Amino acid sequence: MPTVIIDNHPVDVTPGSNLLAAARKLGLDVPALCYMPGCEPNTACMACVMKRVDTEQIIPACATPAVDGLAVESETEEVRSLRRAALELMLSDHPGVTRDAATGVLRCDCDERDNCRLRKYAIAYDADPDRFAGPPRAEQRRYGHPQITYDSSKCILCGICVQLAAQLGEPLGLTVVGRGFEMRVDTPLGESLDAALTVAARRCAGACPTGALRAFDSAAPRG
Ligand code: SF4
Ligand code: FES
């Protein structure tokens, strides 16, 4: 069984697993917003970074195989500040997020705030939504589905819903359209959300790390 070393703590890992799984085995709550076991890592968020001890390279834990002998830093102030910056970049155009000037408390007006992993880690890392602030993206809410809504302004382009829809055999599914700041997840060919997600809607909403995809009756915290 391979052993990796995280912050000087050896941890035995299942062959074929990644550094993120190793960190979780050690009890570390590393922010991983664009990764879900069973999906391919697409390293869109870079909130899960760690630093290799040997090369000092900054690496995404979700996409790095946990090979025997690999030693990394995870909870140092340097690594945590890089994660904080990644979270601040995601917050920079996220609508409805503000910081109370007097208390510094992060506030969010989203209905899904108690289930939102971006908010959870932004609070845990004391991320400043104003550090890289740009204009918030306009709300682009899509209804037309009996179980879920979709607001692309809250999407962080993790790609998990796109992968899940494909894995669950959706004939249409979801896709990424646009370029640069206009890039977003949408239905193909302007089809309705209902047509695009016939069986995968609830799984996609449950896996969405923000409130972009939301089940009408969502109550349970997201994993
Ligand atoms: S809608 Fe949610 S799950 Fe889909 S890409 Fe955007 S953030 Fe990820
Ligand atoms: S979870 Fe690793 S880069 Fe997003």
Q: Does residue 203 have a pLDDT over 80? A: yes
Ligand 2: residues with CB < 6 A are: 32-35, 41, 43-48, 60, 62
Residue at token pair 């845990």: 124
Distances (CA, A) of 12 to 16, 17, 19, 37, 50: 12, 10, 11, 19, 18
Percent of the chain with pLDDT over 90: 76
- Single out the residue of 22, 30, 19, 28 nearest to residue 62, CA to CA: 19
Taking the CA of 19 as reference, the closest ligand is 2
Which atom of ligand 2 is closest in space to residue 41's alpha carbon? Answer: 2
Q: Which stretches of the chain are DSSP H helices?
A: 19-25, 77-91, 117-124, 160-167, 193-196, 201-207
Residue at token pair 């890289």: 132
Q: Does residue 193 have a pLDDT over 50? A: yes
User: Ligand 2, atom 1: nearest CA belongs to which residue?
Assistant: 32
Name the band, by pLDDT with cuts 50, 70 and 90, for residue 76.
very high
What is the structure's pLDDT at 133?
86
What is the structure's pLDDT at 60?
98
What is the structure's pLDDT at 156?
96
What is the structure's pLDDT at 219?
54
- Single out the residue of 119, 114, 117 nearest to residue 223, CA to CA: 117
How far, in Å, is the centroid of ligand 1 from the Cα of 172? Answer: 16
Which atom of ligand 1 is closest in space to residue 34's alpha carbon? Answer: 8
User: Ligand 1, atom 8: nearest CA belongs to which residue?
Assistant: 158
Name the band, by pLDDT with cuts 50, 70 and 90, for residue 221.
very low
Name the band, by pLDDT with cuts 50, 70 and 90, for residue 215.
very high
> 190: which 2 tokens?
């302007």
Q: What is the mean pLDDT of residues 73-95?
A: 96
- Single out the residue of 199, 201, 196 nearest to residue 214, CA to CA: 201
Taking the CA of 117 as reference, the closest ligand is 1
How far, in Å, is the centroid of ligand 2 from the Cα of 4? Answer: 19
What is the structure's pLDDT at 220?
43
Tens-digit pLDDT profile for residues 32-57: 999 999 999 999 999 999 999 999 99
Pocket test for ligand 2, best of 28, 58, 62 (most atoms within 8 A of CB): 62
Residue at token pair 């969405």: 208
How far, in Å, is the centroid of ligand 1 from the Cα of 180? Answer: 16
How far, in Å, is the centroid of ligand 1 from the Cα of 72? Answer: 29
State the chain's mean pLDDT as an integer: 92
pTM of the full structure: 0.93
How far, in Å, is the centroid of ligand 2 from the Cα of 143? Answer: 29
How far, in Å, is the centroid of ligand 1 from the Cα of 206? Answer: 10
Q: Does residue 139 have a pLDDT over 70? A: no
Q: Is 159 in contact with 42 (CB distance < 8 Å)? A: yes
User: Ligand 1, atom 2: nearest CA belongs to which residue?
Assistant: 208
Q: Does residue 102 have a pLDDT over 90? A: no
